[in-house]
C-alpha cells in the first residue's frame, strides 16, 4: 500500500527510487536539515499552531512513517522537537490531506521532471478555511541526489507576509540489523 502522495500522482509517472521508497510503506529515516522560519506576528502564530520546529543551521532529523489502514502517520524529529502529522488521501480533490497540529492542509503532488513538487490547494486553521488570497504558496520539492539519498526542500510563503517555513536536507533509510538469538 502506497502513501497518499503516490496514490494522488497520475499513474505511470516515473518517480525516483529514493522518493518512491519513502512514500511506499512504513519505515524509518535519518539525516540532516537546515530550518528557517518566519517570525513576524501571524506567521509566528501559524508556526506555533502547526507545531513546527525552531530555526537551525544543521539539525539532525529523523522521520518515522507508519501506515494505519487509510491513514499515514509521519513523525518528524528535528533535534529534540517532535512534529507529528496524519496524512490521508482525499478522493474528492485527488490530493493529500495533512493534519498537523491545529492545521489541515490539502496538498497536490506533481512530478516535474525528476522532482516531486507539492502544491498547497487548501488550508484550514482550527477548522476555519483560509481565504484563497492568504493561502500559503509552496515551493516544495523532493528528489533523489547523486548518492541515492532522499532530498527535500520544503517551503511555504504567505502572500503579503513573507516566509512561513523552509526546511531542506536529506534522509536515508534506517536498516534493521539482524542479530543472532
Label the pairing between strands 137-138 and 103-112: unpaired
- Which pTM does this prediction carry? 0.86
> How far is the C-alpha of 170 from the C-alpha of 95, rounded, in Å?
24
Burial zone of 93 (CB within 10 Å; 0-12 exposed, 13-18 middle, 19+ buried): middle
86 and 76 Cβ atoms separated by less than 8 Å: no
108 and 95 Cβ atoms separated by less than 8 Å: yes
User: What cell numbers appear for 59 in the block?
Assistant: 539539525
> How would you write the pLDDT of the chain (181 residues) with one tens digit per residue?
566 666 666 556 789 999 999 988 889 999 999 999 988 788 888 888 878 888 999 999 999 999 888 899 999 999 999 999 999 999 999 999 999 988 899 999 999 989 999 999 999 989 999 999 989 999 999 999 999 999 999 999 988 888 989 999 999 999 754 444 4
137 and 123 Cβ atoms separated by less than 8 Å: no
**Residue 41: which residues within 8 A CB-CB, separation 6 or more?**
161
Amino acid at each position: 500500500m502506497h502513501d497518499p502522495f503516490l496514490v494522488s500522482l497520475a499513474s505511470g509517472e516515473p518517480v525516483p527510487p529514493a522518493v518512491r521508497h519513502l512514500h511506499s510503506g512504513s519505515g524509518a529515516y535519518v539525516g540532516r536539515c537546515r530550518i528557517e522560519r518566519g517570525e513576524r506576528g501571524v506567521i509566528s502564530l501559524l508556526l506555533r499552531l502547526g507545531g513546527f520546529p525552531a530555526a537551525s543551521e544543521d539539525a539532525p532529523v529523523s522521520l518515522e512513517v507508519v501506515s494505519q489502514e487509510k491513514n499515514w502517520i509521519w513523525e518528524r524529529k528535528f533535534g529534540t522537537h517532535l512534529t507529528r502529522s496524519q496524512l490521508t488521501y482525499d478522493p474528492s480533490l485527488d490530493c493529500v490531506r495533512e493534519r498537523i497540529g491545529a492545521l489541515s492542509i490539502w496538498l497536490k503532488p506533481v512530478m516535474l521532471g525528476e522532482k516531486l513538487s507539492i502544491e498547497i490547494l487548501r488550508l484550514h486553521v482550527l477548522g476555519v478555511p483560509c481565504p484563497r488570497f492568504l493561502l500559503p504558496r509552496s515551493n516544495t520539492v523532493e528528489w533523489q541526489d547523486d548518492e541515492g539519498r532522499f532530498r527535500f526542500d520544503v517551503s511555504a510563503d504567505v502572500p503579503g507576509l513573507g516566509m512561513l517555513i523552509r526546511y531542506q536536507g536529506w534522509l536515508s533509510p534506517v536498516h534493521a540489523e539482524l542479530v543472532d538469538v
